[in-house]
Amino acid sequence: MQKSIKDNHLRSIFSLWTDWLTATGALTLLIVLDLWVPRVWHPVVAIVLDILLVSIMRRQSQQKSPACSLMEHLASRTLFWTAVVMVVNIVAYDQGWVNMFFDPDLLNADMSFLTVLIVAPIASVVAYIAYRRGQELAYCKACIRRNGLSVERGFVGRTYSQENRYQLRLMVIVYSLLSVTVWAYYLISYINVNLNSADKFVFIWIPVLVYIIVGIHCGIRYAGVWNYYNQNLEGSWQRQGRYTRTRMIVIYEDKIMVKVPDESADLAPVERKMDTPFKLMVPFRSTMSRDEGYKIFTNFTRMQGLDIRYMYSNGIGNADFNIFHFLCFPTPSQKKELDERYPSAVWMTAEELDVMSEKGLFSPFFTAELYRLYKVAMAWKSYSHDGRRLYKIKHYRPSFRLRDVKEWEVDYDDPNWLYVSDNNEDVPFWKLREFWRKYVMGLIE
């Protein structure tokens, strides 16, 4: 078990480097093909490379060890829009539209575009948009639906979250500087006849050198990450083998029980956040029934007869641990007993929870649970399983009351509700989006 976890972490860290090389390598290859491939065939090559990247992403999504294909996804989008721009350029020359704006004597249809002049700006814009959107990016949302938030995916999840931000910044900087360099040379020094030695150096070999240098930099960086993992996790749960976390949210009427940490105590940073009082680690198990959860938490609280229900689990994409989440609905007498047993805990309304969450005062696990509870419940109350409105009033949002959670029969383990919360009949161009997802992306995903 220990060796398996270590191997999974090694593959995941190594994949950060290989994913960068694969994604930027596809863009660099398209640029280098300017030397041999006729311009009219470049859009076809771009689409072929796009399909190859998507096939790699699909294979990675099916493997057992955790993987993140964000870099391949961004390179895929870059190749797609590059192909679109190239087609527009070729058609514009073929139909003579460019003659309306430029002197035909200065144009060269055989050199209608240079690939790096298209790829570099598009790559920088795509990476910048992804960086700004963060976890709101559609690709990242799909990953969250499958695997949970980064904190719920252990060491690998935290590493991917951190390094993806770094790689996005790196991609923006590298391709922005490359864009400025090649466009400055093109506007100042390039003569639109052919590619001489200086032209080839700027438009072909500089991108290749950048690819090699940045690739070496990333290789050194991720070798350092692996070395840090090896040296700093000795004696931790990762060394002892995979384990299981169990957590329980307690809801009484319109409030949730929250433990406030002792500010005078010497606590680890994560323990200084407010959280549910009911959390513990147990030996690893792949599944956990409601009865097993009931036994664990009745032993933990030393209280019998609690109304404990299974909520959802996280485990895919996490080589360290899996998590089982439960809900508890105490009676008035049980609530009184809980207050006596946990004097440091307070009861918060939905509004108070929202304010505290926005201020970052909750533990990441507790924040993830509140996120799931609200998003799934509101999607279930507002839309059918395929995203159609349950009410005829457009954008109507039903009320959310914690006291009603006990009566709901909603499957919090179903990731489709998280998808429906973001993709439903109230979203602009919903039918077009669904058509694209089913009949275009569905052919290659």
Q: What is the CATH number of the domain that holds 308?
A: 3.90.79.10
Q: What is the dihedral of CA 386, 390, 392, 393, to 10 degrees?
A: -100
Same domain, 323 and 211: no
Regarding predicted confidence, which is higher, 444 or 241?
A: 241
Q: Which range of residues forms the domain containing residue 175?
A: 2-232
Task: For residue 420, tell me if it sits in a domain.
Answer: yes
Same domain, 96 and 215: yes
Task: For residue 31, tell me if it sits in a domain.
Answer: yes
Last residue of a domain, one of 203, 232, 261: 232
Q: Tell me the C-alpha distance between 445 and 443, whole Å.
A: 6
Of 72-76, 256-260, 414-418, 434-438, minimum mean pLDDT range:
434-438
Same domain, 276 and 217: no
Task: For residue 445, tell me if it sits in a domain.
Answer: no
Same domain, 228 and 247: no
pLDDT of residue 19: 93
- What tens digit of pLDDT does each residue of 103-151 get? 555 555 556 678 999 999 999 999 999 999 888 888 888 777 777 777 7
Please name every residue paired with 245 in a beta bridge, in sequence order, or none if there are none: 281, 323
Please report which confidence band the pLDDT of residue 96 belongs to, taking 50, 70 and 90 as the band edges: low
Helix (H) or strand (E) holding 223: helix 206-232
Same domain, 273 and 125: no
Same domain, 225 and 314: no
437 phi and psi angles, rounded to 5 deg = -65, -40
Task: For residue 442, tell me if it sits in a domain.
Answer: no
Q: Is the pLDDT of residue 431 over 90?
A: no
Q: Give the chain's mean pLDDT.
A: 84
Task: For residue 444, tell me if it sits in a domain.
Answer: no
CA neighbours closer than 13 Å in the CB half-sphere of residue 335: 15
Same domain, 206 and 293: no
Q: Tokens in use for 329? A: 């609905």
What is the sign, positive or negative, of the torsion defined by CA atoms of 185, 187, 190, 192?
positive
- What tens digit of pLDDT does each residue of 292-308 get? 999 999 999 888 899 99
pLDDT of residue 105: 52
- What tens digit of pLDDT does each residue of 63-81 get? 666 678 899 999 999 999 9
Same domain, 52 and 139: yes
Same domain, 266 and 188: no
CB 98 within 8 A of CB 107: yes
pLDDT of residue 240: 56
Same domain, 189 and 281: no
pLDDT of residue 235: 43
pLDDT of residue 227: 78
Task: For residue 199, tell me if it sits in a domain.
Answer: yes
- What tens digit of pLDDT does each residue of 335-384 get? 999 999 988 899 999 999 999 998 888 988 899 899 999 999 999 999 99
CB 379 within 8 A of CB 421: yes
Same domain, 247 and 228: no
Please report which confidence band the pLDDT of residue 14 belongs to, taking 50, 70 and 90 as the band edges: confident
> What is the pTM (predicted TM-score) of this model?
0.78
CB 152 within 8 A of CB 368: yes
Task: For residue 443, tell me if it sits in a domain.
Answer: no
Q: What domain count does the chain have?
A: 2
| Mean pLDDT, residues 24-32 | 96
Same domain, 201 and 272: no
Task: For residue 399, tell me if it sits in a domain.
Answer: yes
Return the DSSP state at 272: G
